[in-house]
Amino acid sequence: MSEPTVDTIIADILSSLRTTLLVSCVGQKGSIRLIAEEFIRHARSFAKSTIAPLKCYDVATNTFVDKESPTTLSLVGFKYFANRDDPPSDPSVESLPESPPAVAKQFAAQAIVDFYTDWEEHYRRELAIAHGCSPYDFQIDYFGDLNRMRQDYVHNRGVCSGSVHCRRLKWFSRGDLMIPTPQNYVELLAAFPIEELRQKPSPRTSGTDRVSIRASIPVIREFEQLAGQVRESKSDALNEALSDWIAGNTIAGE
């Protein structure tokens, strides 16, 4: 079996993005539709002699059931969590807005995190092999912006902080709840950097990157404590330590 070409890898990345966005958009509509159908059933019972109680959605069976259990979520609970980022003054179910912003945020978070992880952990390396370069040579603003969003979704509960510095996907302002609009999703597809990915990148000789290594917990804690005491950033301290180690071992090996 031949190695994948640059064009086939790029086509695969774009297909992954389209699939991820499809699942995000359709899944969001599906959850809202389920809730709407149950509320309609409940409302129609008002015209009958017996009012039907609202049921709970059972994750184990994917059906609505009458009684709560460890695998169920009540509609009141769903609408609360769906709207908890924009709580109303009136806590009743009827007063809550029809569009659940937190649910939209969750689907967006899943889409952005999943797609960026695919790029970082798989496609970036595959494309580097096809181009004959290092994965670190790819410095593309599009993926840098997705990483900033991923950081905010994962570490800041989907509230814009680092994403305010996005260079191409400028969707949010500081403090915004990060819910992409349909236009944003279209832009995510339209701005996909096909031509940049087709070109072999220049070797990267400067900048910074994360180091994926394991070290003794006591050593890490002492390192962080000392770096704080001398008011030096951990990145600068690590650069200094690595440079000293390289210099020492290079001399010893000569």
Residue 158 exposed, middle or buried by CB count within 10 Å (0-12, 13-18, 19+): buried
Residue 182 exposed, middle or buried by CB count within 10 Å (0-12, 13-18, 19+): exposed
Q: How confident is the model at residue 78 (pLDDT cuts 50, 70, 90)?
A: low
* CA 197/CA 140 separation, integer angstroms: 9
* CA 222/CA 216 separation, integer angstroms: 10
pLDDT at 248 over 90: no
**Structure-model confidence comparison of residues 159 and 56, the more confident one:** 159
pLDDT at 92 over 90: no
Residue 167 one-letter amino acid: R
Pair 55, 65: CB distance under 8 Å: yes
Q: Which residues are CB-neighbours of 234 under 8 A, at least 6 positions away?
A: 223, 224, 227
Q: How confident is the model at residue 104 (pLDDT cuts 50, 70, 90)?
A: confident
pLDDT digits (tens, 9 = 90+) for 106-135: 888 888 999 999 999 999 999 999 999 999
Average pLDDT over residues 185-209: 86
Q: What pLDDT does 56 receive?
A: 75
Pair 146, 97: CB distance under 8 Å: no
Query: Which residues is 58 bridged to in the sheet?
Result: 63, 72
Q: Domain-by-domain residue ranges, the chain?
A: 1-209, 217-253
Q: Which residues are CB-neighbours of 207 under 8 A, at least 6 positions away?
A: 139
Pair 159, 179: CB distance under 8 Å: no
Total residues belonging to the chain: 254
pLDDT at 102 over 80: no
pLDDT at 12 over 50: yes
